[in-house]
């Protein structure tokens, strides 16, 4: 049984931990408001761009379509772009993202496809490298960036488009969390390259019945919009990651703070009982000694 000094030190240690988790919860709550606002503000632009892309993609087909739309014509080499966080203490967020990526990888490998990984964020590297060390072809470090912006999305998109043009993969899938609330962040797997016309149309807001004439021709416009769409898609994924990270962190720290409070209560009860038992023992010894005299 632990001594009174050990119990007292443990209570003090748990209280210190509770202060840290409470502070982290408050910081995450403050960051969540900004991250959620940024993610929600980016969604209308992404939807409107998807609407334009869907309208244009439906009018262009065959060899006249840009490479980012028509693809290589093959379905052998797949690249999984996995977007994880750079920091921990955010519950099972990163574990769920890695799980979704591994499930997709196993499905493709079972179908006889070659799978490679492009990793964004530090927390997803170790668990993926344990199972697919040779398949990790490239990593993008965002840990040194204080606030993610369009610059990082543009850099990642540039590398992916260059790899696609060089024939290093046939299809790229984007694995990232979608922020629903502080309690729910859903891992999502979508095709990024080549840009799927049907998926773009499905993601777009409902189109109107108005007839639109494009100038210059659709192929030229698509040649400009397709890279922008890829950058926007990645930028949206990074914003969703930031909001999901802060929401998961706030929830995890709130649970940790409550658990620390429960542990403090249990240790306090145990300490009081041990202290009372020690006092009772001393009284009995004093009384027995007095009677012996």
Length of the chain: 293
Strand, helix or coil for residue 158: helix
Strand, helix or coil for residue 227: helix
- Tokens 């690249």 -> residue: 79
* Catalytic (active site) residue 90: yes
E-strand spans in 141-264?
Answer: 171-179, 185-193
The one catalytic residue among 35, 90, 182, 243 = 90
Residue 96 has which token pair? 């769920």
Phi, psi dihedrals of residue 82, rounded to the nearest 5° = -100, 120
Q: Is 189 exposed, middle or buried (0-12, 13-18, 19+ CB in 10 A)?
A: middle
Bridge partners (DSSP) of residue 114 are 77
Task: List active site positions.
Answer: 90
């Amino acid at each position: 049984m632990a001594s009174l000094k050990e119990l007292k030190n443990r209570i003090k240690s748990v209280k210190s931990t509770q202060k840290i988790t409470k502070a982290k919860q408050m910081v995450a709550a403050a960051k969540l408001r900004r991250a959620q606002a940024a993610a929600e503000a980016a969604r209308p632009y992404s939807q409107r761009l998807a609407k334009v892309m869907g309208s244009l993609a439906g009018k262009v087909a065959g060899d006249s379509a840009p490479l980012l739309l028509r693809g290589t014509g093959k379905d052998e080499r797949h690249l999984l772009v996995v977007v994880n966080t750079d920091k921990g203490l955010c519950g099972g967020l990163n574990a769920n993202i890695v799980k979704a990526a591994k499930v997709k990888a196993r499905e493709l490998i079972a179908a006889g496809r070659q799978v490679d990984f492009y990793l964004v964020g530090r927390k997803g590297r170790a668990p993926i490298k344990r199972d697919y060390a040779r398949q990790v072809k490239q990593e993008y470090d965002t840990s040194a960036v204080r606030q993610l912006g369009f610059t990082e999305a543009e850099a990642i998109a540039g590398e992916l488009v260059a790899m696609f043009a060089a024939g290093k993969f046939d299809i790229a899938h984007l694995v990232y969390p979608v922020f629903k609330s502080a309690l729910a962040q859903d891992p999502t797997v979508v095709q990024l390259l080549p840009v799927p016309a049907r998926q773009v149309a499905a993601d777009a807001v409902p189109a109107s019945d108005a007839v639109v004439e494009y100038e210059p021709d659709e192929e030229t416009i698509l040649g400009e919009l397709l890279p922008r769409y890829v950058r926007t898609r990645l930028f949206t994924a990074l914003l969703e990651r930031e909001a999901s990270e802060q929401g998961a962190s706030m929830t995890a720290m709130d649970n940790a703070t409550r658990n620390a409070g429960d542990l403090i209560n249990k240790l306090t009860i145990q300490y009081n009982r041990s202290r009372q038992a020690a006092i009772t023992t001393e009284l009995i010894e004093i009384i027995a000694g007095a009677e012996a005299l």
